[in-house]
Amino acid sequence: MLTRNRPGNPQAKRNANLQVTGAQAIEDEVYVNEAPESLLRDPNGKDKDTIRARFEKIIRDGQDEICNALAELDGTPFHQDTWTRPGGGGGITRVLQDGNVFEKAGVNVSVVYGTMPAEAYRAATGGNIKIPEGGNDRVPFFAAGISSVIHPKNPMSPTMHFNYRYFETEEWNGVPSQWWFGGGTDLTPSYVFEEDAKHFHGTYKNVCDKHDPTYYAKFKKWCDEYFLIKHRGETRGIGGIFFDDLNDKDPASIMAFSKDCLFNVVESYVPIAAKHKDDPFTEEQLRWQKLRRGRYVEFNLVYDRGTTFGLKTGGRIESILMSLPLTARWEYDYEPEEGTPEARAMKAFRQAEEWV
């Protein structure tokens, strides 16, 4: 269920390009009516049967499956924008907005060839790469990924986020070429229901255990630490799994793990959204949801590595900021009353809990 893209906003594109200093990091988008079979530069030549090609197929199949499941639950089609770039790459953004169940749900696929400033390279690697002095300060890279944020209307239904990506850099200033996978799926409820948390975390524990029995505990802890809003001393939600810079096994096995994670998004989340979509709620509960969405905005704009990377490399702004909710709220020094469901949620946000 899709409505096709409209032409891009030229002024928005010009404004986006102004954010990139020096050499252009990523070429301008060229909007197209239909997505090509592949967004790679040479899908029938040197890119054929590569990790790049196999991962692109995984994320595009995943986008189809997840959008179909969400559209079926909501009864509203996704709007689609598709673009390519002259030197290769492009993207497919799908957004469902003001639906029956979802206030805003977006699922993006992107394939990017470009160069990034050394500081963006540091951000993309979590600061783990030593940047040499002097030489060319722009790092050639390839990236492919799928990302999504789903904001339901009902405050009893949680927001969900996932992102799975593959990244390569070329040899640069004496630093060898690098490759890695990253990603994760996490849940951000306004109201914490233990059975929902157990279902969500249990789904991803089963996926992790299939590939490596150490994964779930390690990636659950990583998720709790990554989604910490440091200036608040609380997490964005109740976590899930998160991993990045993963290249300690052969690429095919890590890609298989990423694929299984992606293709369990529907199982982990849609039953929860379906269960709560018609729950009764009050204006006060809606107010609480908007306060928690304010925290979501704070994390994404201040700490999120993907957002930082996209802004530093001049990516498509509408796709980068697709994750933000339509509505959010900030109140001065708000604290829920003890013994309330809101206070129970804050307890989970201030001290990570074990759900399975």
Active site residues: 161
What is the per-residue burial (b if ≥16 Cβ within 10 Å, else e) of 107-138?
Answer: bbbbbbbbbbbbebbbbbbeeebebeeeeebb
Instruction: Give the burial class of 286: count Cβ atoms within 10 A of its Cβ; 0-12 exposed, 13-18 middle, 19 or more buried.
Output: middle
Return d(Cα 293, Cα 236) in angstroms, integer.
9
Where do we find the tokens 């204006």? 283
Alpha carbons within 13 A on the beta-carbon side of 206: 11
β-bridge mates for residue 190, sequence order: none
Q: How many alpha carbons fall within 13 Å on the CB side of residue 255? A: 18
Residues in the chain, total: 356
User: What whole-number distance in Å separates Cα of residue 300 and Cα of residue 323?
Assistant: 8
Contact of 26 with 227, CB cutoff 8 Å: no
Q: For residues 225 and 200, what is the distance between their CA atoms, to the nearest angstrom? A: 18
Three-state DSSP at 334 gives coil
